[in-house]
C-alpha cells in the first residue's frame, strides 16, 4: 500500500522500465503536481448567496480523493457586480473566502490535493463604455480577490479567466472592443487590460504562488483586425516575461471559416513552444482536452506539447478516470487508504 506521505495520484509502481509521461510530476514554482491530469473548471450553478454549499464540499471532495494532478475550481467572481448568475460562486470578501476554505479547500488539502480557483468577472456594461476609473476599479477588484484566494481561502494557485465572454476577452476581440484610447486599436493596445490584471494579481500573491491564465486561441471572425492565433502567441510571450506560470488555452471550433493564419491545435502548440524556446522563456501549457483512455492521454502529453491536459465533463461521468488511465498504462498510483483495497 502507498505510504501515507504520497500525494493521491502519484506514481508508486510501474510495470515498464520508463514511467509514462502522464504520471511524471510537474513542478510549478512551490507546487509539485503528481500527474499531468487536471480537472477543468466547470460551473456547477449551486452557490447560495455566492458562497459554496454542501454540494461543493461533496463534489470537489470526491474529485480530490480520486487523485487528479490538480483541480481548478469553477469561476468565482471577483466582485458582486461581476457575477455571471445568482447561483455562481463569488470570492470578494473575507466571508466568501472563508467559505471557500471550509467547504472546498480544507478537505482537498487534508488529502494532499493541489487545488486552485479560477477568478473571473462578467461585468455587464460593454467595455467600450468603461471609463478609466472603471478600469482601475476592476483591476483593484482582481487584486483584492486574488489576495483573499491565497491568504484566506488558501488556494494553491489562481487562474485568471480571460476567455468565454469575460471583459478580458472582450478587450482582446475586435468585435467587442471599439475603444479609441490606449485600450483599443492594435492588438498591443487591446491586450493592455489583461496585462494590467496579470500584473495586479502577481503583485498581490506570494511570489511562490503559481498564476494561471485562461485564453481563447483566436477570435471566431474573418473580419480584418480580428484577434488571431498569432496575436495569442504574442500575448503568451509577454505573459511569460511577466512571470505567468501556466496558460490554459481553449481552442476555437472554426467550422468552415477562413481564419487568418489558423493552425490546428497541435501545430499551434508547437509554434508557441518554438517561439517561447527561441526567447528562452518558460511557460507551462495546458488545455481542455478530449481523450478516450490512458493511452490516448499519454500520447497527447507526449506529442502535443502540453504540460497538462484538463478534463471536465468526462470527470462528471467517471470520477475514477485517473485510476482508469493508470490501469491502461500498467502503473500503480497512490490511492486513498479507504479505497485502495478495492481498486
Place of cell 481498486: 343
In a domain, 275, yes or no: yes
- 16 within a domain of the structure (yes/no): no
Average pLDDT of the chain is: 95
Q: Is residue 2 situated within a structural domain? A: no
- % of residues, the chain, pLDDT over 70: 98
Q: Is residue 205 part of a domain?
A: yes
CA distance 239 to 192: 11
Q: What is the mean pLDDT of residues 242-264?
A: 91
What distance lies between CA 277 and its chain's CA centroid? 22
SS3 content of the chain, % helix, strand, coil (to 5): 40, 15, 45
Question: Which residues on adjacent β-strands are paired with residue 27?
Answer: 32
Q: Categorize the per-residue pLDDT at 190 as very low, low, confident or very high, splitting at 50, 70 and 90.
A: very high
Reported as a single tens digit per residue, the pLDDT across 122-152 is: 977 899 999 999 999 999 999 999 999 999 9
pTM metric for this prediction: 0.96
pLDDT tens string 24-79: 999 999 999 999 999 999 999 999 999 999 999 999 999 999 999 999 999 999 99
Which uninterrupted H or E stretch holds 114?
none
Mean pLDDT of 231-239: 99
Task: Characterize the bridge pairing of strands 31-33 and 26-28.
Answer: antiparallel
Residue 63: which domain range?
A: 23-340
11 lies in some domain:
no
Whether 179 is in a domain gets the answer: yes
Q: What is the pLDDT of residues 89-101, one digit of tens each?
A: 999 999 999 999 9
Quick check: is 13 in a domain? Answer: no
Burial of 120 (0-12, 13-18, 19+ CB in 10 A): buried
Nearest to 264 by CA among 278, 252, 274, 248: 252
Cα(150)–Cα(147) distance, integer angstroms: 5
Phi, psi at 118, each rounded to 5°: -85, 125
Nine-digit cell string for 233: 502567441
In three-state secondary structure terms, 309 is strand
Given a cut of 90, is residue 21 above it in pLDDT? Answer: yes
What CA–CA distance (Å, rounded) separates 149 from 239?
A: 21
Neighbour-count burial of 168, counting CB atoms closer than 10 A to its CB (0-12 exposed, 13-18 middle, 19+ buried):
buried
Confidence of residue 2 (pLDDT cuts 50, 70, 90): very low
Residue 255, exposed/middle/buried by CB under 10 A (0-12, 13-18, 19+)? exposed
Q: What is the mean pLDDT of residues 193-217?
A: 98
What is the rounded distance in angstroms from the CA atom of residue 239 to the CA atom of residue 340? 41
Distance between CA atoms of residues 185 and 193, nearest Å: 13
Question: CB-based contacts of 179: which residues, under 8 Å, 6+ apart?
Answer: 127, 128, 185
Which band of pLDDT confidence, cut at 50, 70 and 90, is reported for residue 5?
Answer: low
What pLDDT, in 10s, does the model give residues 72-94?
A: 999 999 999 999 899 999 999 99
Domain annotation covers residue 176 = yes
What is the count of structural domains for the chain? Answer: 1
Query: What pLDDT score was predicted for residue 281?
Result: 98
d(CA 268, CA 233) in angstroms, rounded, equals 9
CATH number for 106: 3.20.20.70
Q: Grid coordinates 503536481 are at which residue?
A: 33
Cα 278 from chain centroid?
25
Residues belonging to the chain: 343
Contacts for 83 with CB less than 8 Å, ≥ 6 apart: 50, 77, 90, 122
User: What pLDDT does residue 4 have?
Assistant: 52
Which long-range contacts (C-beta less than 8 Å, at least 24 apart) are formed by 290-297?
290/314, 293/324, 293/325, 293/328, 294/20, 294/22, 294/324, 294/325, 294/326, 294/327, 294/328, 294/329, 295/328, 295/329, 297/22, 297/37, 297/325
Amino acid at each position: 500500500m502507498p505510504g501515507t506521505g504520497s500525494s493521491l495520484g502519484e506514481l508508486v509502481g510501474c510495470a515498464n522500465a520508463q514511467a509514462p509521461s502522464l504520471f511524471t510530476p510537474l513542478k510549478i514554482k512551490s507546487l509539485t503536481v503528481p500527474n499531468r491530469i487536471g480537472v477543468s473548471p466547470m460551473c456547477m450553478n449551486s452557490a447560495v448567496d455566492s458562497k459554496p454549499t454542501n454540494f461543493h464540499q461533496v463534489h470537489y471532495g470526491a474529485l480530490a480523493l480520486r487523485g487528479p494532478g490538480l483541480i481548478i475550481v469553477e469561476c468565482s467572481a471577483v466582485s458582486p457586480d461581476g457575477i455571471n448568475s445568482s447561483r455562481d460562486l463569488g470570492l470578494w470578501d473575507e466571508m466568501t473566502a472563508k467559505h471557500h476554505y471550509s467547504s472546498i479547500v480544507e478537505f482537498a488539502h487534508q488529502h494532499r490535493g493541489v487545488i486552485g480557483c479560477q477568478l473571473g468577472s462578467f461585468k455587464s456594461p460593454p467595455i467600450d463604455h468603461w471609463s478609466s476609473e472603471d478600469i482601475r476599479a476592476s483591476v483593484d477588484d482582481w487584486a483584492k480577490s486574488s489576495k483573499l484566494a491565497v491568504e484566506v481561502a488558501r488556494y494553491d494557485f489562481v487562474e485568471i479567466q480571460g476567455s468565454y465572454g469575460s471583459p478580458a476577452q472582450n478587450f482582446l476581440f475586435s468585435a467587442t472592443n471599439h475603444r479609441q484610447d490606449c485600450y483599443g486599436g492594435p492588438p498591443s493596445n487591446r491586450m493592455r487590460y489583461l496585462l494590467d490584471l496579470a500584473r495586479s494579481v502577481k503583485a498581490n500573491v506570494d511570489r511562490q504562488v503559481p498564476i494561471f491564465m485562461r485564453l481563447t486561441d483566436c477570435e471566431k471572425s474573418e473580419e480584418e483586425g480580428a484577434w488571431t492565433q498569432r496575436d495569442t502567441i504574442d500575448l503568451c510571450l509577454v505573459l511569460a516575461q511577466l512571470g505567468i506560470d501556466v496558460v490554459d488555452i481553449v481552442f476555437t471550433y472554426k467550422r468552415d471559416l477562413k481564419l487568418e493564419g489558423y493552425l490546428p491545435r497541435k501545430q499551434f502548440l508547437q509554434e508557441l513552444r518554438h517561439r517561447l524556446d527561441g526567447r528562452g522563456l518558460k511557460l507551462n501549457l495546458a488545455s481542455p482536452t478530449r481523450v478516450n483512455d490512458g493511452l490516448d492521454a499519454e500520447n497527447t502529453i507526449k506529442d502535443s506539447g502540453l504540460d497538462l491536459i484538463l478534463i471536465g465533463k468526462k470527470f462528471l461521468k467517471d470520477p475514477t478516470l485517473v485510476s482508469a488511465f493508470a490501469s491502461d498504462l500498467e502503473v500503480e498510483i497512490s490511492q486513498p487508504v479507504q479505497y485502495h483495497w478495492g481498486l
